[in-house]
Amino acid sequence: MKEGFCQGQSFRAPLGGSILCSPVKSNSVIPRGKPNSKVEPGQKCKIICEAAYPIPESTSCAVTGWTVKSETVRCDATKGGLSPAGQMGVVGAFLIVVCLVTAIYQYKKSKPQVRPQPIRESYEQRSQQLQYHQQLQYQQNQSNYQSVQPQLHQNTAFYVQQ
């Protein structure tokens, strides 16, 4: 049933749930024509949720009324854990952390690893490179000079270099 009456107090089942009470001793009819909605003192009622866990799981009818107020009863899909929105937030935060770690790793991996060289080694390497370039230029100049062939000038009988 969705609603039960105990000592004049109403107990409504939570949204998406119902209450199941032990059999009523008397088959009396309460106002508004709802049979078996009246609960006698001492009876225990189990709270049932369709697709969740009830919190609390049961209530009972006492001489003073219901032992649990119907406003405090709820159906919880996670039974005290994170709500679906909280679970989505945790998954989203995890994905952001994974993306950041991956991006940082890739950034550091793609950076060229430059080994700092002592000044003396750098100077020696530079001077060796300079000597190599000077030798190369000298060799090129020598080959250019040797490639010049004496030719007969048009108007004279002398050999000239061009």
* CA atoms within a 13 Å half-sphere pointing along the CA-CB vector of 25: 5
pLDDT confidence of residue 158 = 53
pLDDT confidence of residue 18 = 86
pLDDT confidence of residue 100 = 96
pLDDT confidence of residue 89 = 95
Domain ranges within the chain, ordered by starting residue? 3-76
pTM for the complete prediction?
A: 0.44
Stretch 29-48: mean pLDDT: 71
pLDDT tens-digit readout, 73-130: 888 777 767 777 888 999 999 999 999 999 999 988 887 766 665 566 667 777 788 8
Structure token pair of residue 44: 């225990």
Helix (H, G, I), strand (E, B) or coil at 135: helix
pLDDT confidence of residue 29 = 47
Cβ(75)–Cβ(18) below 8 Å: no
Pick one of 3.60.150.10, 2.10.70.10, 2.40.100.10, 3.10.110.10 as the CATH number of 3-76: 2.10.70.10
pLDDT confidence of residue 145 = 56
The pLDDT of residue 159 is above 70: no
pLDDT confidence of residue 156 = 55
pLDDT tens-digit readout, 137-153: 877 776 665 555 555 55
The closest of 2, 42, 40, 38 to 20, measured between CA atoms, is: 2
DSSP 54-98: EESSEEEEETTEESS-GGG-EEESSTTS--HHHHHHHHHHHHHHH
pLDDT tens-digit readout, 46-84: 888 887 888 888 888 888 888 888 788 888 777 767 777
The closest of 58, 88, 81, 61 to 6, measured between CA atoms, is: 61
